[in-house]
Structures are given as structure tokens and as C-alpha cells.
A and B are shown apart, each in its own frame.
Chain A
Amino acid sequence: MNTFIALASLGVITMFLGVLNLKKWLLPFIVAGLAVTIAVILPSWNNPGNTFLDMFYIDNFFVLFSALMVVSTLVVFLMAAQYYKGEKRSLEGIYSIIIFSLFGGIMMVSAGNMIMFFTGLEIMSISLYLLAGSHKTSYESNEAAMKYFLMGAFASAFLLFGIALLYGATGSLYFTDISSKIAAFHGQVPSLLKAGILLVAIGMAFKVAAAPFHFWAPDVYHGSPTLITAYMITVIKVAGFAAFLRLTMLCFGSDTSLWVNSVAAISAISIVLGNFSALTQSKSKRMLAYSSVAHSGYILIALVSIQTITPTIIAYYSAAYVAANLAAFIVIIMVKQTTGSSDFESFNGIAKTNPVVAACGAIAMLSLTGIPPLAGFMGKYFVFSSAIQQGYLWLVLIAIVGSAVSIFYYFRPVINMYMKDAAYETLKTSKLSIGILVMLTILTVILGLIPGLIINL
């Protein structure tokens, strides 16, 4: 509960700082506020808090994922200093909406009741529609907001219909009640329940951009302001998957045969479509959008093997994914601010002008591909090995082929950075952004070398 109060007041005070014309203090205050939020979250480790009549759970799962989300939001805000440099309009609106969407995401991750879950999801999504369109003069940003809004509203409708059918079949909105009701059917499940689970799964697949429900992702991720894309592709993705995981563990976990084949199919399609579509892209943001579709597929493998997997493995995978993606987006922001475009050609010759940036960007790409000993490899290794234990060898084979294909597109910016000549003297950077970039890269390497840091928690 304290986490929610801290985040909500942070968002409201941010707005007032804007009203009082204290713009200089905006970012330092938000960073301090998010640090306080982390300090509020961490003591709940091994120390479950008040659940408010089972409405939400403050447990280790919550601490793992919400701490990850808050830390990544912190990094996004640190990048905001460079991204919005020289911006004349007032930014407190955008900042407070980012905090509100984080609030929704954390609410979704901690939910123990369908109403709580759906309210959190809507707070998160509606804030995101606004953020996607926050670059008002850009045609692409407007298009992204419109597309995201229409598709997202559609997906929410599916989800809500599914929840209603689940309520009709089990007579409860609490995850644990639904789970015990499903177990009590002993395989003789009513058709309402099947339809409900199907629709909820479709809605969630929409939200995490898993194929074949990913068609909004490339346009939205490409059109949104780059900083917001970084936020969506990391924090929101983690929120979506943590909530999906919570739903499958607490709610549908008592009879996996109902949904496991569908999720395996969605996962396989995501891996194939995501990786092969990314091959033909020429813009870095679009490429990362398709790569995030493929990564959705990899994380869905973890859901398939829900009986053997632990939340720490998925948290580890998410942390590796977030660190690599944030590093990649810092490089993209630098490139875009220097050259005005995020095409692969704009990456030419960074290794000569800014060797540190190029090295960090290359390590991020290697980690996303899954090259040992980086964090991305260990994450994939843990997820795949637990899937093999469950007998999903075919799915793991598809995933490995997909990873092999992904080398081609992840290496294109790396090749451009190292093999070609730059058209400019040096990138527009700041000490802060270089510092964060190096930190994220070190984190990627350390997590890869010592995976026990998160896995053995």
C-alpha cells in the first residue's frame, strides 16, 4: 500500500512543481521520489505486507518485479535530461503521466483480484496512449497514439469480456478463488471457463505484443518519442509479463492443460514472425520493436513451463532484457539527436568518433542476441532448460533457430558502427548519459557472469 501512496503522491507533486514554475527541480525531485519508492518496496522482501482483503499481494514476487520496474523508470528519467534538453514546453505533464503509468503497472503486478488487475491495466494503458502522442507536432507520433489507442481499447474489451465469462463460470473475481474453483472441476471444466481463459489470453497477448497480436507494435514503437519507446519496450513489457505470470500462477495454474498449448503456439509464432520480420527492417526502432515481439515469444516459453520455473528466472530474464534494451535506446537517442534519424546508416562510424558508446551499444546487441557470457545468454539458457524439463523440446528448437536468425539483424548496427565512416565529428552526448550507458553495460556483463545475483534470491 505504501508503494502506491508513494507513487501517487510523487505524480501529483510533480504536477504542482510544474505549476509553481520550479522546472529546474523537476527531474532531481522525481529521481529522489523514485529512490524513496524503491526504499519503500524493498523491506517487503520475505516480509509479506497487508493484502487489504486479498485485493493485492505484497510478496517477494511483487518486490522483484516492481523494484525492476521502478529502477528502469529511474534510468528512463535520467535519460530524459538529455532527451528533452532545450525543450521549451512544460514537461511536468509528460513526467507525471509516466509516473501514473508506472503506478498502474505496479498495481497490475501486485493484483490479487480481477477488478484490481483491470484497473491497473487501464491506468497503465491510458497513460501510454497519451505518452505515445506526446510529441504533438510529429505526424508519426499522432499516428502511433491513434493506433495504440484503438488497438489497446479493443484488447481491453477482449480482456474484460474474458473476465466477465470467468466470473460467470466461477462466481468469484479473486485469483485464489478462481484457482480453487478450476481445481474443483477435475478436468470437467464448463465451456464458459474455456472461453473466458481464451479471451483473457488474447487480451494479454495484445498487451505484451505477442504474435499474432503484435501488429500495432512496430508502428507504435517507431512513431512514439524515442524516450517513451524506451519506457514502453522495457517497463511496460515487464509489467505485462509479470502480470501474465501472476495470472497464470495464481489463477489458471491449477489446470495447466486448459491453456498451455495455446500459449506454446503463441510463443512459437512470436519467435518466428518477430525474428524474420526484424530481418528486413532498416530503422533501428522498428528493428527493436520486432525484436521485442521475438523476446515476448521467449518469455512465453517460461509461462509454458510454469511448473518448473521460478519467478526469479523470469525476473533475471527481464532484467537482462531491460538492461540491454535501455542501453540500446540510449545509443539511439544520441544518434537521433545528432543526425536526426534512427536509420542504420546513422550508426556509421560511431566506433571512431565515440568508441565507448560503440562498445556499449555492441555489448547490448550481443546480449539481446544471446551470446555467452552476457546476461541475455544466461537468461535464455535458464528459460530454455526449464522448458526442456517439461518436454517442450520442439519449442526450444524453434527458439534456438530464431536466436540464430536474430544474429543477422542485431549485428547490422554493430557492423555499421565499426566498419563504416562517420559523417559527423562526434555524437551529442552528456557525461550523465555516458555514465548510465556504461553502468548498464557493466550490469549486463556482471549479471551474465554471476547469474546467482538474481536467480538465487
Chain B
Amino acid sequence: MEKYIFFGLSGLAIFSAIMVLVSNKPIHNLLYLILCFMAIAGHYLLLNAQFLAVVHIIVYAGAIMVLFLFTLMMLNLNLKLELNKSLMARIVAFVSGLLLLVTLVIILNGLVIPTPKTATTQIGMTRDLGQVLFSEYMVPFEAASILFLSAMVGAVMMVNKNK
């Protein structure tokens, strides 16, 4: 049963990720991206990581994507995106992307994929995660606050009116 859910979710994630690239209406791209996030959140649930799944939906699908949506509406960008990349740039991008794909496929060729097991680990539960976060990963967790502080100061600096 879990196997079918896993493959279903994976298919959905890949499909919506491709649609984000293919579709050329900004709002549609955004909605497909939210769908992709939802599918990945489903994967987290399969791995028994409830906290991560919920945070993923609240933060990405909820906060960030809605912010994107508002920006698009405010700027009134709901027109067809014109990709005016030159043919040369497209060919180069295609070739370099293909190179990475080929390299990864060659490297991962001999990979033995272990049969998926039912997740019995409790590490994804909120309680356990909190304990790890405030003991073992205390330093990076605290340091992340510097990251946000820096980003916030930068945002204020960027929108400040006096040049």
C-alpha cells in the first residue's frame, strides 16, 4: 500500500515540477509549485516526519507562496511570460543540464536501491526533533538567527528611502 502511495506522490511531484517549467502563466506556475510542495509533504508523512510535513505546508505552501501570489497581483504580472532567450543560450543551457544528468546517471548506474521499509523511526516527531534541536544542534540553530537578522537588516537597508 505504502509503495503505491510513494510512487503516486513521486509521480505527482515530478509532473507538477515539470509543469512549473512548461506553463507560461505566472499564476499557474505558482499553483503547480504549491502542488509540488504538497506532494513532498506527503513524502515526509510517509517517513513519519509529521512536524516537517506540517511546517513544509505552512511555511512554503502557506506563507511564501501566498506572498508570491500577492506580489504577482500587486504588480499585475498576469500576462504571458515572454522568454526572450536567444537560441544560443537555450542550447548551452540544454547541453549543460544534459551533461549533469548524464554524469549523475552514469555515477548512479550501479546503485542498488534497497527495498523501501516502513518507517518506524520516531525521530520525525515534534518532541524528538525539539530535543535534538536544543541539544546536539544547538549551535547551528542559534546561528540561524544571525542569518535571519542579517537578511532583515538587509531588507530594511534595501527599502530605506534615503539613498
Interface residues of A, Cβ cutoff 8 Å to B: 1, 4, 8, 11-12, 15, 52-53, 55-56, 88-90, 93-94, 96-97, 100-101, 103-104, 107, 113, 115-116, 119-120, 122-123, 126-127, 129-130, 133-134, 136-137, 190-192, 194-195, 198
Contacts and interface: CB of A to CB of B under 8 A. Distances in A.
B147 A115 contact: no
10 A-B pairs with the lowest CB-CB distances in the bound complex, closest first: A130-B154, A93-B157, A100-B150, A119-B140, A195-B107, A191-B111, A123-B147, A55-B139, A115-B140, A127-B150
Contacts of B108: 191-192, 195
A52 B162 CA distance: 43
Contact of A120 (B107, B138, B143): B143
Nearest to A115: B140
B140 A130 contact: no
Contacts, number: 93
A88 B162 contact: yes
A261 to B, nearest CB: 14
Contacts of B21: none
Contact of B140 (A100, A116, A126, A195): A116
Given A97-B150, A191-B108, A195-B107, A55 B140 contact: yes
B14 to A, nearest CB: 16
A449 to B, nearest CB: 40
B137 A115 contact: yes
B146 A89 contact: no
Nearest to B111: A191
Contact of B104 (A8, A93, A100, A195): A195
Given A12-B149, A52-B138, A100-B149, A191 B107 contact: yes
A97 to B, nearest CB: 6
Given A94-B157, A115-B137, A122-B147, 17 more contacts: A8-B146, A11-B150, A55-B136, A55-B140, A56-B139, A96-B150, A100-B149, A101-B150, A116-B139, A130-B153, A130-B154, A130-B158, A133-B158, A190-B111, A191-B109, A191-B110, A195-B108
B151 A126 contact: yes
A304 B24 CA distance: 46
Nearest to A173: B137
A136 B150 contact: no
B134 to A, nearest CB: 12
B160 A123 contact: no
A90 B153 contact: no
B157 A130 contact: yes
Contact of B150 (A55, A89, A126, A133): A126
Contacts of B158: 130, 133, 136
Given A97-B150, A191-B109, A191-B111, A89 B140 contact: no
B100 to A, nearest CB: 9
A56 B137 CA distance: 11
Contact of A89 (B110, B156, B163): B163
B78 interface: no
A30 to B, nearest CB: 15
B15 to A, nearest CB: 21
A194 B110 CA distance: 11
Contact of B146 (A55, A123, A133): A123
A119 B143 contact: yes
Interface in B92-106: 103-104
Nearest to A194: B107
B144 interface: yes
Contacts of A89: 160, 162-163
A198 B107 contact: yes
A99 to B, nearest CB: 9
B102 to A, nearest CB: 12
A88 B149 CA distance: 24
7 contacts: A96-B150, A119-B143, A127-B150, A130-B154, A133-B158, A192-B111, A194-B107
